Amino acid sequence: MSRIGQLPVKIPDGIAVTIDKNNVVTVKGPLGELSQEVNKEIVVEVRDHDIVIKRPSDQKHHKALHGLYRSLIQNMIIGVYKGYEIQQELVGVGFRAEAKGQRLEMSLGYSHDVIIELPKEIKVEAKTERRANPIITLKSIDKQLLGHVAAKIRSLRPPEPYKGKGIKFVGEQLRRKAGKAASV
């Protein structure tokens, strides 16, 4: 459970990591700034160009927190250094998407268009080419928020197993079912 937690987190050049007395880790980089509160039982130290996370004992609870906080800090560093991106594809006749600032308007086969207000931390882009399915691109430095918003968008019209219509992630393999067999 804690093998991940034992690995030190490398800090790339241009990234500043600070830990305050309330055990809040703040990471600043070229793309922005992220903070994460760490449990009081877990010790986080900055050594040279590494972050080391330690746990007080080998209890199951401490091992789980050890790996969790190591992964969260790693995701924060990657987020402020490179950023994260998720692409979703709208599969279906008449499905379309349009981005207007922080609003995403989609036509998903319902009687009305679906409008979603996105958080300010997420940048959205909708691209529609002729003879291709519309693609929504979401970008952010916060991996957790980005995944949550992408899952929320996908839940509006999850892909169905017979024709594959719906909102799916680009590159996602769907399990398809055979249709009803004709009786003789």
Q: Quote the percentage of the chain above a pLDDT of 70.
A: 97
Q: What is the CATH number of domain 84-169?
A: 3.90.930.12
Does 3-81 match 84-169 in CATH topology? Answer: yes
What's the pLDDT at 48? 87
What's the pLDDT at 181? 79
pLDDT at residue 143 greater than cutoff 60: yes
pLDDT at residue 184 greater than cutoff 80: no
pLDDT at residue 174 greater than cutoff 60: yes
Radius of gyration of the chain from its Cα atoms, rounded to whole angstroms: 21
Overall pTM surpassing 0.75 (yes/no): yes
- 98 φ, ψ to 5°? -145, 130
What is the β-pairing status of strands 135-140 and 84-91?
Answer: antiparallel
Q: Which sequence spans correspond to the domains of the chain?
A: 3-81, 84-169
Q: Give the pLDDT mean for 113-137.
A: 94
On whether the CB atoms of residues 21 and 27 are closer than 8 A, the answer is no
Give DSSP secondary structure letters for 39-87. -TTSEEEEETTEEEEE-SS--HHHHHHHHHHHHHHHHHHHHHHT-EEEE
pLDDT at residue 2 greater than cutoff 70: no
pLDDT at residue 84 greater than cutoff 90: yes
Mean pLDDT score of the chain: 93
pLDDT at residue 47 greater than cutoff 80: yes
**Topology (CATH level 3) of domain 3-81:** Outer Surface Protein A; domain 3 (3.90.930)
pLDDT at residue 140 greater than cutoff 50: yes
What's the pLDDT at 152? 97
Confidence of residue 160 (pLDDT cuts 50, 70, 90): very high
Confidence of residue 179 (pLDDT cuts 50, 70, 90): confident
pLDDT digits (tens, 9 = 90+) for 9-28: 999 999 999 999 999 999 99
Neighbours of 118 (CB within 10 A): 19
Q: Which residues face 36 on adjacent strands?
A: 25
- 143 φ, ψ to 5°? -65, -40
Q: Give the pLDDT mean for 161-176.
A: 92
On whether the CB atoms of residues 154 and 168 are closer than 8 A, the answer is yes
What's the pLDDT at 1? 45
What 3-state DSSP class applies to 104?
Answer: strand
